[in-house]
């Protein structure tokens, strides 16, 4: 029996990566509170959010009576960890500038959690990638904000876009930084019986 993959995300980047892997899927975005809990580590936060997104979509599908034994929900969450602290999407221009100044000339970690959920089990894992930024000037940061790209990105940059110009090196999965680690996602979905 063919598995039906549901992507619990509206991210065009994640959809494109699944298409690149030739995995047919439907899109059902999750709507959850992504606020961190008190003293929650970046690893714990990203793991919880990916798992909760999958669970939220499962609950919606069950309400609609469209969750079957052949449904596999794939959820993902990405955040930046810098000196042990979680760095999410910027609130506004000032916050974006603060984040980019903080990352300038230093190394940070990109944590991407992937979670697969069927009617009977759930499995979640985190992929960590080290990214080193070039030193950025205030002029570069201002010009980058004006492109509109940093506004809705974890860490206030998109490695697959203009923000890629700031990256000196990557140690780990480049696709995980974009939003979905190709190798690990394939392995996880295969474990749930999804083959393409």
Q: Output the furthest CA–CA distance in the chain (Å, rounded).
A: 56
Amino acid 195: pLDDT: 82
Where is 45: in which H helix or E strand? Answer: helix 42-63
Q: What is the mean pLDDT of residues 80-108?
A: 95
Q: Is 77 a catalytic residue?
A: yes
Contact 93, 155 (CB under 8 A): no
What fold, for 4-191? Maf protein (3.90.950)
Contact 179, 78 (CB under 8 A): yes
Choose the weakest-confidence range: 9-13, 45-49, 71-75, 108-112.
Answer: 9-13
Q: What is the pTM of this model?
A: 0.93
Domain spans in the chain, listed from the N-terminal domain onward: 4-191
- Could you report the per-residue pLDDT of 29-41, keeping only the tens digit for each? 999 999 999 999 9
Q: Which of 31, 77, 92, 152 is catalytic?
A: 77
């Amino acid at each position: 029996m063919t598995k039906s993959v549901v992507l619990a995300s509206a991210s065009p980047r994640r959809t494109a990566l699944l298409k690149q892997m030739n995995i047919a899927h439907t899109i059902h975005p999750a709507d959850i509170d992504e606020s961190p809990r008190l003293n929650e580590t970046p690893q714990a936060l990203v793991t919880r959010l990916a798992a909760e997104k999958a669970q939220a979509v499962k609950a919606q599908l069950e309400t609609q009576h469209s969750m079957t034994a052949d449904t596999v929900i794939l959820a993902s969450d990405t955040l930046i960890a810098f000196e042990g602290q979680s760095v999410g999407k910027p609130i506004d221009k000032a916050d974006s500038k603060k984040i980019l100044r903080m990352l300038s000339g230093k190394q940070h970690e990109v944590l991407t959690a992937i979670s697969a959920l069927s009617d009977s089990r759930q499995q979640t894992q985190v992929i960590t990638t080290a990214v080193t930024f070039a030193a950025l000037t205030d002029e570069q940061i201002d010009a980058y904000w004006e492109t509109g790209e940093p506004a809705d990105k974890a860490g206030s940059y998109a490695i697959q876009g203009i923000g890629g110009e700031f990256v000196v090196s990557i140690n780990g999965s480049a696709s995980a930084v974009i939003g979905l680690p190709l190798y690990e996602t394939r392995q996880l979905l295969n474990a749930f019986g999804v083959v393409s």
